[in-house]
Amino acid sequence: MSSAARLSLFLIVLSGIAVIASLWLGPVPLAHPFANDAATHTIVWDIRFPRALTAWIVGAALGLSGAALQGLLRNPLADPGVLGLSGFAALGAVLAYAFGVAALAPVGAIGFALAAAALVVALGWSSRGPASLVLIGVGLSSLAGGLIALTLNLAPNPGALADLVNWTLGSVDGRSLNDAALAGGLLVLGAVLILIAARGLQALTLGEEAAAAIGADVTRTRTLVVLGAAACTGGATAVAGVIGFVGIAAPHLVRAVSGHDPARLLIPSAITGGALLSLADLAVRLLPTDSELKLGVAAALIGGPVFALIAARLASRSVEA
């Protein structure tokens, strides 16, 4: 068995343990999550299971998008959060909520994620180093943040405002199986598009021109990955709000174990993202805080320093080279 396959297997087991632990552990102590009384059934299957499933799917979608975008842009700092895809997806959903058409939130999230992905790829395609691309992402994220703030600023009533703020912090609290199905469906769609482009990502290891010279259709690869990452990120953000850093952390963890081939990173990164977010959500549920820590906040608290570490390591490596 290859190291990537062993890693995937380990992470699937870890994900399973995290999900089962999520069913068992929580504010209401349960003797046995599969006990046959009505109360336990409601808590486990109507509340905890949809939440745990949503957390895993959102993490997987972000991990997969991160790995695919890093391969496409040949940049280890790419990730849907850093590049502004998540911010734009959030903006799309916020606008839908603010205009009173909550049903259109997923459409808004996906549409805006797609627009941001197209913009990043158009602006960052020929950028040479990691820095310029991240700067483009920072610009787009700030723009999305500003526009979200503007929307909140002009929010029609305080109730709507509180909902919107809560939502932008990122959480899977109280999510239903419908939410899981929406994010899951888009994850499957995005994964299909991205996996079709996997060989193209391998070719791009040589750079754009040499990839074309060995026979890769670079335009097709770019289109598929952008659409796939937008579907994954749009779906994840539509149900869970903004959750950063899973997309950047997951591929890096996988690379440490199973090498740098961008095609072989994809599925293990998705499973890693799922496992990471399942564990993070379990942690925020078990932390003895008065009001529950938001998952997006926890991800940023852990992910921010991890991102800085990776960036510092890359910087020192490029100085040596």
Q: Does 260 engage in binding with other proteins (CB under 8 A)?
A: yes
Tell the smallest beta-carbon distance from residue 233 to other proteins (Å).
Answer: 22
Torsion of CA 178, 180, 185, 190, to 10 degrees: 150
Tell whether residue 128 is a contact of other proteins (CB under 8 A).
no
Least Å distance, CB 176 to other proteins, is 40
Does residue 213 bind other proteins (CB under 8 A)? yes
Residue choice 100, 129, 146, 259 for contact with other proteins (CB under 8 A): 259
207: Cβ contacts below 8 Å, ≥ 6 apart: 74
Q: Using the rule CB under 8 A, is 243 a contact of other proteins?
A: no
Which one of 262, 268, 273, 296 is in contact with other proteins (CB under 8 A)?
Answer: 262
| Interaction pattern, residues 62-81, with other proteins; x per rule: CB under 8 A | ------------x-------
Of 178, 251, 180, 182, the closest CA to residue 22 belongs to 180
- Choice from 89, 116, 216, 295 touching other proteins (CB under 8 A): 216
Shortest approach of other proteins to residue 269 CB, angstroms? 14
Name the strand (E) or helix (H) holding 211: helix 208-213
Q: Which positions from 263 to 282 touch other proteins by CB under 8 A, shown as an x/- string? A: -x------------------
Of the two residues 32 and 260, which places its CB atom closer to other proteins in the complex?
260
- Residue 126 within binding range of other proteins, rule CB under 8 A: no
Q: How far apart, in whole angstroms, are the C-alpha atoms of residue 229 and residue 200?
A: 15
215 binds other proteins (CB under 8 A): yes
| Alpha carbon separation from 239 to 22, 164, 174, 184, 236 (Å, rounded) | 19, 13, 11, 10, 6
Closer residue to other proteins (CB): 173 or 217: 217
Distances (CA, A) of 168 to 88, 102, 214, 301: 11, 14, 44, 15
- Exposed/middle/buried for 291, CB within 10 Å: 0-12, 13-18, 19+? exposed
Binding to other proteins (CB under 8 A) within 153-212 occurs at 199, 202-207, 209-210, 212
- Based on its alpha-carbon atoms, the radius of gyration of the chain, rounded to whole angstroms, reads 19
Q: Does 218 bind other proteins (CB under 8 A)?
A: yes
Q: Shortest gap between Cβ of 262 and other proteins (angstroms)?
A: 6
Q: Please, which residue, 67 or 236, has the CB nearer to other proteins?
A: 67
Cα separation, 57 vs 44, in Å, equals 18
Neighbour-count burial of 308, counting CB atoms closer than 10 A to its CB (0-12 exposed, 13-18 middle, 19+ buried): exposed
Give residues in contact with other proteins (CB under 8 A). Answer: 2, 74, 199, 202-207, 209-210, 212-218, 259-262, 264, 321
